[in-house]
Amino acid sequence: MRKDISLDLGKATAFAPEATLGAFAARTAECNDALHNGTGRGSDFLGWLNLPKSLTDAQLSEIEESARVLRENCEIVVVIGIGGSYLGAKAVIDALSGSFDWLEKDRKNPVVLYAGQNIGEDYIFELQQLLRGRRFGIICISKSGTTTEPALAFRLLKTQLEEQQGVDAARRLIVCVTDRSRGALRTLATQEGYRTFVIEDNVGGRYSVLTPVGLLPIAVAGFDIRALIAGAARMQELCADSVPYEENLAAQYAAVRNALYAGGKKIEILVNFHPRLHYFSEWWKQLYGESEGKEHKGIFPASVDFTTDLHSMGQWIQDGERTVFETVISVEKMRHEVRIPANDANLDGLNFLSGRRVDEVNKMAELGTMIAHVDGGVPNLKIVMPELDEYCLGQLIYFFEKACGISGYLLGINPFDQPGVEAYKKNMFALLGKPGYEKETDAIKKRL
């Protein structure tokens, strides 16, 4: 039996009044029930709840087969998508990949690159240059099938692929992940005869990493999606509505962060001491920011990479406004071992560390930072991950998703919609003169 991830709240609960925490804790069961019974807000979007356990062997095999075709035919696969349509895949692929894998000459797996996650002209130009003359494929992911950023990138890269490979060959190197029947991407995929996977209506973008949205790119990168799902399924059991608060990690995390928020801790900083987790924090920020930042409330999700950012943001966290708390993801076991050599001259004064592991230094930095920050008035929640592998990442993903649902209900908002992301789109289309936006174009131009 694998060791599960665990949650240590010992350095957080003292910062929340007992009565407040008790009140939130008492409500977690009802929120968890509301998720499972579909009686809470946004209940049309609860498909993610049972995903790990409901995914069939046949569905996983289909994803693996499609990944095999791309793996065998491409040195680079470009994942086109934005927000929930790329962050989960990037978070997992980065967490599992060696830091310098992309430099290896005899790679077993294609390099996975990303497009459509920004509108930077230089970025897309440089990507086009890189892809010139190379065997590349495309996974285009858009749930709505109408999002401007990925649509733009897809138009550019599909054209390039067709020019390089010919239309027929290009067709076999393009896979689309989109709505079952609606949206421009579905229409295009049907017309062109692309291989497609469906994002079900009841799974929102930021909760979609355990669907083909995340699983296909992760499989293309050479990682074990079955182990990822097995980890998530295990966490599904551990955070089920039948599991009492005292044993339910998702309920505890949701209650403590809400109690801290009620006491004025408005910012949660997700901390890692492992550079490969940088994009996991980006995924987490989207999950919590887009789920909870509503009706003029919600914890602001921020992130830092330690010890790197101890030399920049560390000052603020130690000494700035006391409105923050930290959630540290601590990885117990490293994949590799590096011991510090002795040195006769000892000019750097590091001989006291000779023979010891670099990870011991990192772990003491983690412990020292936690003590310093708690002393400075920063509550500290700690999530312990036994290893940075597929199984533990699957657990972590489901843990955060489940806790986000419970936490959103504790906060009294709908954690499954995102009305706020539409405002910029309306203005952008008005400014660009999109047909159908004539009135908005007139109105916005008067304001300039």
Contact status: 150 vs ligand PA5 (CB under 6 A): yes
Q: Which of residues 32-71 bind ligand PA5 (CB under 6 A)?
A: none
Residue (of 286, 279, 252) closest to 10 by Cα position = 252
Q: Which residues pair with 328 in a beta bridge?
A: 271, 382
Q: Shortest distance, CB of residue 218 to ligand PA5, whole angstroms? A: 17
Look at the block and give the residue holding tokens 């694998």.
2
Contact status: 415 vs ligand PA5 (CB under 6 A): no
**Residue 234, number of CB atoms within 10 A of its CB:** 21
- The stretch among 64-72, 203-211, 310-318, 366-374 that binds ligand PA5 (CB under 6 A) is 203-211
Q: Which residues contact 400 (CB under 8 A, 6 or more apart)?
A: 284, 287, 288
- The stretch among 162-170, 198-206, 322-330, 440-448 that binds ligand PA5 (CB under 6 A) is 198-206
For residue 326, give the H/E element and its range: strand 324-333
Q: Shortest distance, CB of residue 211 to ligand PA5, whole angstroms? A: 11
Q: Can you read off the two tokens belonging to residue 17? A: 């009044």
Contact status: 212 vs ligand PA5 (CB under 6 A): no
Contact status: 369 vs ligand PA5 (CB under 6 A): no
Contact status: 268 vs ligand PA5 (CB under 6 A): no
**Residue 117, number of CB atoms within 10 A of its CB:** 19
Contact status: 211 vs ligand PA5 (CB under 6 A): no
Q: How far apart are CA 415 and CA 420, in angstroms?
A: 12
Contact status: 217 vs ligand PA5 (CB under 6 A): no
In the stretch 271-300, what mask flags binding to ligand PA5 with x, by CB under 6 A? -------------------x----------
Residue-wise DSSP of 358-410:
HHHHHHHHHHHHHHHHHHTT--EEEEEEEESSHHHHHHHHHHHHHHHHHHHHH
Q: Which of residues 85-114 bind ligand PA5 (CB under 6 A)?
A: 85
Q: How far is CA 39 from CA 27, 42, 45, 204, in A?
A: 15, 9, 12, 17
Q: Which of 143, 158, 186, 226 binds ligand PA5 (CB under 6 A)?
A: 143
- The stretch among 78-86, 90-98, 164-172, 186-194 that binds ligand PA5 (CB under 6 A) is 78-86
Q: How far apart are CA 286 and CA 204, in angstroms?
A: 12
Contact status: 414 vs ligand PA5 (CB under 6 A): no
Q: How far apart are CA 335 and CA 358, in angstroms?
A: 12
Contact status: 202 vs ligand PA5 (CB under 6 A): no
Contact status: 142 vs ligand PA5 (CB under 6 A): yes
Contact status: 241 vs ligand PA5 (CB under 6 A): no
- The stretch among 21-29, 76-84, 249-257, 424-432 that binds ligand PA5 (CB under 6 A) is 76-84
268 within 8 A of 281, measured Cβ to Cβ: no
Contact status: 84 vs ligand PA5 (CB under 6 A): yes
Q: Shortest distance, CB of residue 222 to ligand PA5, whole angstroms? A: 24
Residue (of 168, 201, 219) closest to 61 by Cα position = 219
Q: Which residues are part of the catalytic machinery? A: 290, 425
Q: Which residues contact 281 (CB under 8 A, 6 or more apart)?
A: 270, 272, 303, 305
Q: Shortest distance, CB of residue 115 to ligand PA5, whole angstroms? A: 13
Q: Shortest distance, CB of residue 291 to ligand PA5, whole angstroms? A: 9
Contact status: 206 vs ligand PA5 (CB under 6 A): yes
Residue (of 331, 337, 305, 335) closest to 393 by Cα position = 331
Smaller CB separation from ligand PA5, 286 or 395 = 286
Smaller CB separation from ligand PA5, 147 or 407 = 147
Q: Can you read off the two tokens belonging to residue 143? A: 């749930």
Q: What share of the chain is helix, strand, coil (3-state, %, to 5)?
A: 55, 15, 30
Q: Which of 144, 165, 202, 318 binds ligand PA5 (CB under 6 A)?
A: 144
Q: How far apart are CA 15 and CA 378, in angstroms?
A: 8
Contact status: 305 vs ligand PA5 (CB under 6 A): no
Contact status: 186 vs ligand PA5 (CB under 6 A): no
Look at the block and give the residue holding tokens 């986000």.
404
Q: Which of 82, 96, 225, 404 binds ligand PA5 (CB under 6 A)?
A: 82
Site size toward ligand PA5, by CB under 6 A: 14
Q: Shortest distance, CB of residue 399 to ligand PA5, whole angstroms? A: 18
Residue (of 126, 132, 124) closest to 80 by Cα position = 124
Contact footprint for ligand PA5 (CB under 6 A)? 82-85, 142-144, 147, 150, 204-206, 290, 418
